[in-house]
């Protein structure tokens, strides 16, 4: 047995697909838009997302996702 930690590339955690929503199954929220943009959920980022949703509607999320 080897008690040494594995050496190799360390990967950043990836947001699971189940946490990202496209809006096709329901309403697009500011939280969805913030997560799709890769940002942290903060009051400033939520305000940005709410403004973006107000001007672009649910398609704002579609524009962010590949």
pLDDT of residue 3: 61
Distance CA 64, CA 44 (A): 18
Between the CA of residue 11 and those of 20, 22, 26, what are the distances in Å? 19, 25, 32
pLDDT of residue 5: 57
Enumerate the domain spans of the chain.
28-64
Specify burial of residue 11 (Cβ count, 10 A radius: 0-12, 13-18, 19+): exposed
pLDDT of residue 41: 95
Non-local (6+) Cβ contacts of 63 within 8 A are 56
Could you report the per-residue pLDDT of 9-54, keeping only the tens digit for each? 666 677 776 666 554 557 889 999 999 899 999 999 999 999 999 9
Please spell the DSSP secondary structure of 5-27, one letter per residue. Answer: PPPS--------GGG---STTS-
Whole-model pTM: value is: 0.61
pLDDT of residue 64: 81
């Amino acid at each position: 047995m080897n008690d040494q930690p594995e050496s190799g590339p360390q990967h950043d955690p990836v947001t699971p697909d189940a946490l990202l929503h496209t809006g096709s199954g329901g309403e697009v929220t500011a939280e969805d838009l913030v997560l799709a943009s890769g940002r942290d959920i903060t009051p400033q980022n939520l305000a940005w997302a709410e403004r973006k949703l107000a001007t672009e509607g649910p398609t704002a999320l579609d524009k962010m996702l590949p």
